[in-house]
Amino acid sequence: MKVKIIALLLVVALASAGITYSLVKKSPVSAEHVEEEHTSEPIKIAGLQVAPAISGDGWNAIEVTGKVAVPPDRLVKISPRIDGKIVAAHGTVGDYVHRGQELAVISSVELAEARADYRQALGRLNTARKNYDREVQIVKLGAVSARPLEEARTESFVSQGDLSDAKSGLAQAKSELIKEESELVQCKARLDRAKELYVEKIISRHDMESAEAEYKRDTASVDTAKSKVAQAESNVDKAKSKLDISKQYLSREEKVYKSKALDAKTLQSARADIDAAQVDVQSAADRIRVLGADPSGSGDTLSVRSPISGRIVSRQSNIGEMATSSDAIFTVADLSRVWIEADVYEKDLSQVRKGQPSEIRVDAYPDKVFTGKIDSIGDILSPESRTAKVRIVVANPDGLLRGEMFAKVSLLTERNGRSVLIAKDAILDDAGEKIAFTPCMECPEDKKAGTNACGAYDKLHVTTGHVRGRNIEVLNGIEPGTLVVTTGAYQLKTALGSGKLEAGCTDH
């Protein structure tokens, strides 16, 4: 009887052990042995993934914030040289354009007038040449008299007076140009000062824009003064040419009068007409070139082309609108290289130097790390924040970095040896501490299968360092090769905190 009772107890004990083993084997994923406590069905965490910690280079770094800026020489505001109506516009914001590519076509009354003047000058030159050829034949049959000689002397005297007047006008124009250039230099200094004050928020944007407007007006005044100098120089050249011709004419008339040779007055006059017409043609052609057109072209339209290759970042032009030389109708930026302008605190400036490597991250591409080097360090600190501006040059061949993007910048100061790197998503906050989960391999099933068969996990307390792209440095708490949960860690932490799961492995 006792044997039967003992046998029965053994059977019950074995059955209980089998049921317990079955429940443990089917238990859900847990933090430090995840087990079912209040439910009969296991709690499953879908998509849970693990990955080993890796070894990588460690750096000490200064973490600062910054902003993406486009270098001024790579941001071009394109305006037409003349006022006119937009009759064609090509491209929109985001389009890539090549240097010399047509962006717009302007219809201009000023260009039409310039072309008309050029055609008229060509007509006068052609007529002068025909008259000269005809006078050559007539002069050969002319009579000798003293009147042409006197006329030649009078013309030479008048030409000398004209030359003197032209030189005086040139001197006055140059004096005005010097005055305007001096005022422009002073205006430029005021504008630069206004920009500095605006950056430091000492003056308003209205004040800065007023300074810019004043600079534009002074620039236009200088251009006008230069144009007057050019016109005065042209008048001097004309007067010199006229004087030379009159002297030659006078010399010839004196010889003709003395030798009773042919009367050349008419011929010389025809020659002077040709010279004057050639000067007019050249002046009209130069005016068309200044307007940005080709003298050999026709019509009243002018092509506005991009001076650089890059992307269109702004378009202020529509067909039918009026465009002026003071307004930018397109803005093109070459983003193949950009600046990162960051603020470095005064206490960290001793660790910053030109040429220092840097890592840049932006929210738009959280998994990508851009690299660059410090190009310049500001000499003046902001009185409010006690920071200095640091400029970092970054290659941007794919154009991912765009102007005004906010950036997180790591200024790498020195190597600190090897470090352990794990995925950023593996790190969680737990009551002010950093934790991660690793598969527990202490269950009999784990040891037998060589894998995390029973689905239990340890909670590791770690100390983290700098973020390195998609990874983060772990200063202690994890060794290279340790498996950590990269996907599903938050669900593990939530299940453990809710009381639905309980610990059963080694507590780290």
Q: According to the per-residue pLDDT averaged within each range, which of 34-38, 183-187, 418-422, 475-479 is highest?
A: 183-187
Sign of CA dihedral 209, 210, 211, 215: positive
pLDDT tens per residue across span 436-473: 888 876 666 655 555 665 667 788 888 877 676 577 77
Q: What is the pLDDT of residue 342?
A: 93
CA 149 – CA 250 distance, rounded (Å): 7
CB-count burial class (<10 Å; 0-12, 13-18, 19+) for 12: exposed
Beta bridge partners of 60: 414
Q: In what order do the strands lie in the sheet with 75-78?
A: 75-78, 330-333, 310-315, 96-97
CA 375 to chain centre: 16
All structural domains of the chain, each given as residue ranges with its CATH number in brackets, are: 25-57+419-498 (2.40.420.20), 62-72+334-415 (2.40.30.170), 77-107+300-332 (2.40.50.100), 108-299 (1.10.287.620)
Q: What is the pLDDT of residue 137?
A: 67
Q: What is the pLDDT of residue 23?
A: 37
Report the residue count for the chain.
Answer: 508
Q: What is the pLDDT of residue 429?
A: 84
pLDDT tens per residue across span 208-236: 888 888 888 888 888 888 888 888 888 88
In this structure, the strands spanning 428-430 and 406-423 are unpaired
* Ramachandran assignment for 488, one of left (phi > 0), alpha (psi -120 to 50 degrees), beta (any other): left
pLDDT of 393 above 90: yes
Q: According to the per-residue pLDDT averaged within each range, which of 64-73, 451-460, 499-508 is highest?
A: 64-73
Q: What is the mean pLDDT of the chain?
A: 78
CA 129 – CA 387 distance, rounded (Å): 74
Tokens 């046998």 -> residue: 7
CA 344 – CA 63 distance, rounded (Å): 9
Strand (E) or helix (H) holding 467 = strand 457-468
pLDDT (average), residues 275-294:
88
Q: Letter for the amino acid at 504?
A: G
- Phi first, then psi: what are they for 312, rounded to 5°? -75, 120
Q: Which string of DSSP letters, residue by residue, matches 314-379?
A: EE---TT-EE-TTS-SEEEE-TTEEEEEEEEEGGGGGG--TT-EEEEE-TTSTT--EEEEEEEE-S
Q: Smallest Cα–Cα separation from 308: which of 80, 71, 76?
A: 76
CB 225 within 8 A of CB 170: no
Q: What is the pLDDT of residue 73?
A: 84
